[in-house]
Every structure is written in C-alpha cells, then in structure tokens.
Amino acid sequence: MELLRNIAYQPGSTGSNKMGDSQALGKACSGESRRKKAAEEQQHHSHAAPEISRIITDPTTGKRYCRGKVLGKGGFAKCYEMTDLTTNKVYAAKIIPHSRVAKPHQREKIDKEIELHKMLNHRHIVQFYHYFEDKENIYILLEYCSRRSMAHILKARKVLTAPEVRYYLRQIVSGLKYLHEQEILHRDLKLGNFFINDSMELKVGDFGLAARLEPLEHRRRTICGTPNYLSPEVLNKQGHGCESDIWALGCVMYTMLLGRPPFETTNLKETYRCIREARYTLPSSLLPPAKHLIASMLKNPEDRPTLDDIIQHDFFLLGFTPERLSASCCHTVPDFNLSSPAKNFFKKAAAALFGGKKEKARYLDTHNRLAKEDEEIYKLRHDLKKTSITQQSHKHRTDEENQTTNITVAKAGMVAETKQIGDSIRMIVRGTLGSCSSSSECLEDSTMGSVADTVARVLRGCLETMPEADGIPKEQLTTSFQWVTKWVDYSNKYGFGYQLSDHAVGVLFNNGAHMSLLPDKKTVHYYAELGQCSVFPASDAPEQFISQVTVLKYFSHYMEENLMDGGDLPGLTDIRRPRLYLLQWLKSDKALMMLFNDGTFQVNFYHDHTKIIICNQSEEYLLTYINEDRISTTFRLTTLLVSGCSLELKTRMEYALNMLLQRCN
C-alpha cells in the first residue's frame, strides 16, 4: 500500500519524479544520465540507510510505536504504517534518515515542510499529528489513508466516470481553497498526492514542495513539481501563483477522465514543448461541459477560473454528483444507488416486482448495463435538453415580442402604466406560444426553448423594472394551481420524479420521455415528445411501457411514504385543466429549478426550504413565495412592478433567473 509516493525531492535522486531545478530538467532528458544516477542512488541507499527498528520510541514522550509495512517511497524518505502501542491508533509515518538530510539546505527543507503542514487543519487535507527524531531518523506521523491514493485507483480502473470525477474534484477544490486562503501553494498536485481514507474521503497530501504565496515580484522561480503537471509559467520561470495549482488541477481532471495526462509524450523535451504551447487533444468522448472546464483551466494564468468558478461550472451544475462512493469504486465501475432509506426501498421494490426467472434475468441485465453506461445516459439526457433549447431559442421571436421585452414604469401615472405592463406581459406570452386564451391550451406548439425563453424574459423584465422596497406587496390573492410538493432525484439510474399538489406524480426519464400517474392512481399519461400524449390504464400498460410504469409507481409510493409536503399552499383540484408535466430541471449547490410545459416555474432553496413559484393564470403572471415557516404569499407580477419587494425575495428571484438562463444559453 502506497500512501505518499513522491514525498520530497533531492537533486540527483530518481526515487522521485519531481524536478528540483533547471539543471535537473536538462539531465532528465538523458536516459543514460538517469540510469547512472539511479545506480548511484541505489548504492547510496544501501550504505546510508540502515535497517529501521521494528519498535520505535519517541525519546521525548517515551511513547512506543510498532513499524509496519511500507506505504510509499520518496526522494528523502519512506512512508510506513505505524501503530501507537498504547492507543493502537494507526498512522502513516514518514521516516527520514538523518544521513539523507545531512546538508543544511536539505534539513531546512524538511523543517519548513513540518512547520507548514502542522498548522493545517481541514477535512480534505492529510492531518499532521506529531513529529520527533532519534539518533538515526526523523519521524513525521500523518493521517493514515487505508484506500491508498488516486494513482492506485486509476491504475486499477484505467478511467473514472464523470460522477466520480465530480465527487473527487469537489473535495480537492475544497482542500485547495483552504490552502490558498492560508496563502499556501501546493505546487505538486497530482493523483499520487490525493489520498483516500476508509470512508472514501479524499485528502490532499505531500507538502514537500508547498510554499508560501509571495508577492509577484518575490515569487519563486525555480522549476519544481511533476513534469506532466507543470504549468507553462513554472517552466518559463515566471514564478508560482495560485494559477499554477489551477493548471495542475486541469491536468488532474483530464487524467481522471481519460487515463493519461494531457501533455504526456514519450520524450520529456516534447512534453515541455506541448506544455509551453498548451498543445493537447480533447477527445470527442468527453462531454462538452468537461471539455470546456478542462480547456479553461489550461489557459494563460490570467484567464484561468478561480476555485469558486470551477465549482459553479456546468460540469458540476448539470451533472449528477454522488454524496458518497463505495469502497468497490477503487477497483470496479460504481453502481450508483440512492442513499437509505430510498436505496433499500428501491431494492425491495425491484425484488418484489420481478418474480419470474426470465423477468428477473432481464432486469438484472439491464441493471448491470445501466451502471456501466452511466456516462452514455448522462450524455443523451444532456444532448436532448441542450438541443431542444438551442434549436428553439430564436424560432418564435417577432419584432412585436422584442419591443415588449424591456418594460419601463414611470413614476407618474401608476394606474395606467400598470395596465400597460399587464398587457405587455400578455403579449409576450402570445408572441411566444401563439394566440390563445391560455398558454396551457397550446401544448402542441410549446417547446422547451420557447417556454424557458418566455419565463426568463418575464422574470428579467420584472427584476429590471421594479423599485426597491422593504417588504413584499400587501396584496394577497386566493388562488390555486399545481406546484411541486415533493421530489426525488434518481437521475443516475432512471430520471427525476416529483409529486404535484393535486397528488399526481410525474417522472422525467433520462431518455427525455415523461410519464405521469394521475391523482386517481389509475391513469397514465405518457409524452414521448412535446405535445404527443398517450393515455392508458396503469394496470394494463402496453408492453413497451411496463418497466417505466413500474418505476413511476415506485416513485409515487416512495414519495408518499417517506417525504413531507413543501408548504401550506393549496393544490389545484380542477381536473378539467390540461395536465402539467416537467420539461426540464436543474440542481445547483443552492437550489433546485423545475420548468413545466405551461410555463410554471418553481425554484426550491435547500438551506432554508423557501420556494418561488411563477405561474400564468388567465394571461396574468402570478408569483408565490413560500417562506422559511412554510407560509405562502401570492401576488401579481404587475403588483411587483409597481410596489417592488424585499431584498430577501429579490435575491431569490435573481438567483432563480440565473438558473433559468443557464438552461437557456
């Protein structure tokens, strides 16, 4: 088990692939030189590194430790498993022979590493515990990570799935952000320096090359790091900044997804040439968001994203990220499942459903294939949604519609202007969906792009026009409409499920199809495409729909049994109105967005459970706000245009608009 692979660098050592200075860079290009150095290093180790005792005593505290197996090797040291004989606590012990750091600058390097590392305390940073020394060695006790490093995982797996990459990158960014806030540069980010503990949590480690962030004019200009992950500014001796760690992170992401670093060649000089020219390939197998994020991190230093920008990128916002990973992911492709109790529920549901041998075999075959095809499913869903949006973004625009986009309200003549604003909003609806008394009557003509475009422009027009205010409007309408009271994201396998306020249940499947179970629990509506609806009994579904109906029923049962309603807003009971079904949804780290076929737009905020719902009734846009106490208030958007609203509501409206625009652009 290897925990710390390249712990430090000493000039002339080939026990590490770190490059210490420009001289080492030149020598690294000579195979004969490397072989000679390796032979000398091996001979040096055989004479200078005596056998380390099995039982080691801290001379200061008297504590005794038992040295275990080797976890990793570096230029200065080896890393061992080491157990405290008093507490049985296991550490990763970095043991450095005094003979290896005999020169003052070598010992100074170790002392700086200890001084820097011992002050760090973060969930995603390898924890420093203690250090001591005796006559032979220096001992540094670090957090023990039983699952080895990301390098070992990738060696076994070859490539990782995008959900796994999101999972690991989030933790790397978290740890790296902490370092940068402490004004510390890691300077050697690579798979071998990301360690995984027993809970499959990632820890950034190996601070042998870490350094304090200096002002630009005083930045370090030595070449150090691992060749495949070096940034152009480091190679060109322009100094180290946070941007160099971002470059390495781009190389890390590329390597996780494709199994090799972006600039790897058979010749070191050619590798450095490729790095300086930022010359690499992005295979077509990568999804567009992944390509874009990698490319942004491998730009010139001033153009690279910040760590916050990275986490807010579409690669994270538009894709599934598991909350945790199974230890089996270290060697096999993950089989993502919902967390308990949902996980247990769906397992029991599947077991109860498939009684016959043929059906069970067919189900298991599909189940296993889905796990292996997770990326293909995500790509299909992503492409379907993006294509619908981009193809329709300009389809229905007219001169009249563009003229009504920017709505203005003068201070004088409020009553007349309010009517004009209401008329303008209604014209926007008609300009996009066609001339009809209600947008919900025109399902056949509506598209994902046109509906999203309409709602975005109405919401933007309201935000750009309404005045500042201290509270929300006093107007309180009594109305009822359909809204989402419960939801389940199971898109890693099947799709996104939700329950409406009238107790109808819908699922937007990963292939873009939508299926609804009506409130009577007997009737199913199936939409293969927008405006094309098939209706059939839930108990007698056509053969091609049986599996989807089964998933729909269990979504319904799970939400009914396990989830609570999201507020006090009454539901729509008029069954004569056309059915509502989900067009698209989006999850960010703060909220969930849902957009429906009739223009109903809902955003649920996680941290305080507040909600915003915008809907259209009789050509009048209404906004409902459900606060932290689950109390709802409904008013006309035209009222907001005149009266304004509180900062609390306005910031939520702005965030909702930004989420919607992410889907529109």
Q: Supply the DSSP string of 495-549, one letter for each residue.
A: EEEEEETTS-EEEEETTS-EEEE-TTSSEEEEEEETTEEEEEEGGG--GGGHHHH
CA–CA distances in Å: residue 153 to residues 194, 334, 544: 10, 12, 40
Provide the pLDDT for residue 450. 74
Task: List all residues 6 or more positions away from 206 whose beta carbon is below 8 Å from its beta carbon.
Answer: 4, 5, 6, 7, 126, 188, 192, 193
Binding site as annotated, residues: 103
Tell me which of 21, 111, 134, 188 is the catalytic residue: 188
Burial of 563-589, coded b for 16+ CB within 10 Å and e otherwise, reads eeebbebebbeeeebebbbbbbbbbbe
Separation of CA 561 from chain center: 29
Token code pair at residue 123? 């969930």
Q: Determine the Cα–Cα distance for residues 49 and 27; give it in Å rounded to an integer.
A: 25
Q: What tens digit of pLDDT does each residue of 529-584 get? A: 555 788 999 988 888 888 899 889 989 988 888 787 666 565 544 444 567 889 88
Instruction: For 462, list phi and psi in degrees, rounded to 5.
Output: -65, -45
Q: Do 611 and 603 contact (CB within 8 A), yes or no?
A: yes
The answer to whether 289 and 212 are in contact (CB under 8 A) is no
- From CA 288, how far away is CA 382, in angstroms rounded? 9
Residue 519 has pLDDT above 60, yes or no: yes
In order, the DSSP letters of 417-455 are HHHHHHHHHHHHHHHHH-S-S-GGG-TTT--HHHHHHHH
Question: Whole-angstrom Cα distance, residue 431 to residue 401?
Answer: 6
pLDDT (tens digit per residue) in 391-400: 333 333 333 3
Asked if the model's pLDDT at residue 509 lies above 80, the reply is yes
Q: Which amino acid is at 465?
A: T
Encoded tokens for 309? 């920008």
410 burial (CB, 10 Å; 0-12 / 13-18 / 19+) is exposed
Tell the burial category of 361 from Cβ atoms under 10 Å away from its Cβ (0-12, 13-18, 19+): exposed
Q: What are phi and psi of 612, to 5 degrees?
A: -120, 130
Which residues carry a binding-site annotation for ATP?
103
* CA–centroid distance for 476 within its chain: 39
Mean pLDDT for the chain?
76
Cross-strand pairs, 641:
none
From the CB of residue 52, how many other CB atoms can be counted at a distance below 10 Å? 15
* Average pLDDT, integer, range 283-306: 93
Q: Is 628 exposed, middle or buried (0-12, 13-18, 19+ CB in 10 A)?
A: exposed
For residue 536, what pLDDT is reported?
Answer: 93
188 is catalytic: yes
Contacts of 134 (CB under 8 A, 6+ apart): 56, 57, 59
Token pair 């409130």 is at which residue? 519
302 contacts: CB under 8 Å, gap ≥ 6: 243
What pLDDT, on a 0 to 100 scale, did the predictor assign at position 223? 57
How many angstroms separate the CA atoms of 327 and 24, rounded?
39
Tokens for 350?
Answer: 């599947």
**573's tokens:** 């009971």
Average pLDDT over residues 156-174: 95
The 10s digit of each residue's pLDDT in 44-65 is 444 445 678 999 999 999 999 9
Q: What angle do CA 25, 29, 31 make, to 5 degrees?
A: 135
Contact 6, 193 (CB under 8 A): yes
Q: What percent of the chain has pLDDT over 70?
A: 71
Q: Is 36:102 a contact under the CB 8 Å cutoff?
A: no
* Lowest mean pLDDT, pick from 116-130, 153-167, 308-322, 444-458: 444-458
Q: Does residue 469 contact residue 408 with C-beta atoms inside 8 Å?
A: no
Q: Is the pLDDT of residue 12 over 80?
A: no
What is the average per-residue pLDDT within 209-228?
Answer: 69
